[in-house]
Amino acid sequence: MIEVRELSRRYGDLKAVDRVSFQVGRGEIVGLLGHNGAGKTTIMKMLTGYLEPSAGEILIDGLDIAAERRAIQRRIGYLPENCPLYPEMTVIDYLDYRAALQGVAHAERPAAIREAIARTALETKATVPIATLSRGFRQRVGVAQAILHRPALLILDEPTNGLDPSQIEHMRSLIADLAERATLLISTHILQEVEAVCDRVLILRAGRLALDARLAELRATHRLLVTLDRPPTEAAGRLGGLTGVSACAPLDDSAAAGRWRYLLDTADPDAAAPQVARSIAEAGWSLYGLQREERNLETLFREVNAHPEAAHV
């Protein structure tokens, strides 16, 4: 659905985006992450045709944006970070105006507007001026205008910005529903939102792509987390010397309730786990926990930005 090749954008001597390449398949939900100034919004503006690249190519649905910008924009629904709205207009009038701009046929607009309002839970606000809406409801209007024309590609910049917890839950459900017939690229500062809704993550660092991988693959590691009733002076040597275990590192300096936790580096956690359990049983120790270590996205994001040379692209 999206193919980006060696994409760059410069502002004088500043490289906002530097030779970024990636692909997004049809139906994927991909999170775009990075610190402020990493290049997320710049990439989104180039993908939607609002900003020209300094170099590189963008193909969307097989079309080159340099030659087919208008045709591509008709396929895209875009929610910018601070979606511009007309405060003097009512919600329904604004959506009718946006539907006209998107080329929705006059006879089809009422149904399209009703659907967008229902999917974003704006029924109670449809006839009120946008100026009277809270920030969260304004954000929902921004999402509604992005899905009016049933686009094949949705690009959402901070879609949960300003939403309360119940509205965030609704947005997650909406994103999952939209993904059944559209491809989604989502930028957000809230890592939990990416973990909740995305299949894959792209992490930018200083304008370059530092990581491109599926979340399921990133969460799993080759390390085992073991909880025992023995301190490092007894456990580290025994566990670290097992076949398939290359290192044993205690996680805590002092035990909690007589228990110590260890991380074991292994080539194959599934093969090493039974050996670890047998060794502990043979020693007569109590085993309180044995599981594969999993990293959350916050840990991964911190690792990528602290050690970019270790990123997986």
What percent of the chain shows pLDDT beyond 70?
Answer: 96
pLDDT at residue 63, rounded to an integer: 93
Give me the phi and psi of 23, to 5 degrees please.
-130, 145
pLDDT at residue 254, rounded to an integer: 57
> What residues make up the domain containing 272?
221-294
User: What is the C-alpha separation between 183 and 1, in angstroms, rounded?
Assistant: 7
| Model pLDDT for residues 126-179, shown as the tens digit of each residue | 999 999 998 889 989 999 999 999 999 999 998 887 788 888 888 888 888 888
Q: How far apart are the first and last CA of the chain?
A: 19
Whether the pLDDT of residue 313 is over 70: the answer is no
Number of domains within the chain = 2
Token pair in block for residue 249? 């590192």
**Residues 161, 129 within the same domain:** yes
Mean pLDDT in residue range 105-131: 95
Q: Of 218, 219, 163, nearest to 188 (Cα)? A: 163
**Residues 279, 247 within the same domain:** yes
| Model pLDDT for residues 75-102, shown as the tens digit of each residue | 999 999 878 899 999 999 999 999 999 8
**Residues 134, 29 within the same domain:** yes
**Residues 251, 199 within the same domain:** no
- The CATH number of the domain holding residue 228 is 3.30.70.1340
Asked whether residue 306 is assigned to any structural domain, the reply reads no
3: which strand partners?
23, 59
Side by side, the strands of the sheet bearing 245-250 are 245-250, 260-266, 220-228, 287-294
- The CATH number of the domain holding residue 18 is 3.40.50.300
**Residues 26, 135 within the same domain:** yes
pLDDT at residue 11, rounded to an integer: 92
